[in-house]
Amino acid sequence: MDRELRHIDWFRDNIGKTIYGTSGCSCSVCHMQYLKGVRISDLNHANSLYSIQDTTNRRYFTSKEDRVEYERSLKG
Ligand SMILES: [Zn+2]
């Protein structure tokens, strides 16, 4: 399993906070979320973000800096 995959508890613990995902898609909604992050509004939202990890290669971080570092590590 991918070491960067977040456990459901990680999303639940971050409800009410803003998290930053890697870019998976170039549409305007995703691009805006990439720039501004996503605030996890409630448990349903946490669950859906959690399941997005399985269907996409998107990974989530608590800071933009951590995300940038991860994206750099992918490029090698
Ligand atoms: Zn999109």
| Closest to 25 in 3D by CA, of 56, 68, 71, 46 | 56
pLDDT of residue 17: 98
Say how many Å lie between the CA of residue 11 and the centre of ligand 1: 20
Q: How many CB atoms lie within 10 A of CB 65?
A: 10
Say how many Å lie between the CA of residue 37 and the centre of ligand 1: 13
Domain boundaries defined on the chain: 8-75
pLDDT of residue 3: 62
Say how many Å lie between the CA of residue 72 and the centre of ligand 1: 21
Query: pLDDT 10s per residue in the chain (76 long)?
Result: 456 899 999 999 999 999 999 987 889 998 999 999 999 999 999 999 999 898 888 899 999 999 999 999 988 7
Ligand 1 ion: Cβ-proximal residues, 5 Å cutoff: 25, 27, 30
With residue 23 as reference, give the H or E element that holds it: none
